[in-house]
Structure 1
Amino acid sequence: MNVSAPVELLIVEFGDSEFTGEIVAELGRLQETGTINVIDALAVRKDAEGDIEWFEAVDAGAELGDLVGEPSGLLGEEDVEAIADDLEPGTAVGMLVFEHTWATGLTDAIRNKGGRVVEMTTVPPAALAELAALIEEED
């Protein structure tokens, strides 16, 4: 795996485990514009009886399989086991590993100056909403 920008793991839970293609289409658009590079993807679904089904991008259909290409092996059965018990029946989780290719130039500039990224944290939407509410209260 050859990456030159920060890589992130995104885990999204869905209350409905039926997908119609909008998410894959948007990932394709983001990849085409050079915003991200999809490295690996995996989906886990728990049916109404509590049975677990999971599949990697290459098993999900041509569109997602083409987007990811050959899976990196970063996501696999151990990830499914770690998350499956917490899923409610009828829900699904999508896991996506992607490179922030938009940041390649910045990453190169940092490295050229002898710097290195020490930590990169995604701020959860709930924390942003809470902060916005606190700021609004102060105004």
Structure 2
Amino acid sequence: MELVLLEFPRAEFKGEIIAELARLVDAGTIDVLDALLIRKADDGSVEWVEATEGGDDDLARIVGEPAGLLAADDVDAVAEDLAPGSAVGMIIFEHTWARGLTGAVLGAGGRVLDWTRVPAVAIEELSRELEKEN
């Protein structure tokens, strides 16, 4: 499972994120276990909405019944650093594609020793360095 925090300087959404999540779920790449949106108003007040409460039927379908992995404590921790007028989406998902790979490794008598995500920023930095060398 992974927890992903997505920050939006302006809390304006047009549906492209939900469409991409739906594509990934429908393709069997991920299962979204929980999701919520935190918004901080210009006056500093904080509002948070779980996926099934936001009135978006597509998001509610993607998440289904939330797993209860995200709660008020998570909202408080994120909202503290959130700039007024902005929003953060919190998504917990499982890589369903990894089930088959893990099963194959176990079936071959192996085990997964480590699974580390390399941040996109690190990949971009490495790409820039390699371009400089060439």
The equivalent position to 2:41 in structure 1, one of 41, 47, 55, is 47
Q: Name 1:8's counterpart in structure 2.
A: 2
Matches within 5 A, 1:1-139: 7-61=1-55, 62-139=57-134
How many pairs are equivalent?
133
Q: CA RMSD in A?
A: 1.4
CA distance in 2, matches of 1:116, 1:41: 30
- Kindly report structure 1 stretches of 4+ aligned residues shifted beyond 6 Å: none
CA distance in 2, matches of 1:26, 1:60: 18
Q: Go from structure 1 to structure 2 and tell me whether the alpha carbon gap of 1:93 and 1:106 turns closer, same or farther (over 3 Å shift).
A: same
Q: Would the aligned equivalents of 1:42 and 1:76 in 2 still touch at CA under 8 Å?
A: no
TM-score, structure 2 length as denominator?
0.91
Q: Find the residue that maps to 1:39 and give its secondary structure.
A: strand
Q: Go from structure 1 to structure 2 and tell me whether the alpha carbon gap of 1:29 and 1:105 turns closer, same or farther (over 3 Å shift).
A: same
Q: Percent identity?
A: 53
CA distance in 2, matches of 1:49, 1:91: 11
TM-score, structure 1 length as denominator?
0.88
CA distance in 1, matches of 2:33, 2:105: 23
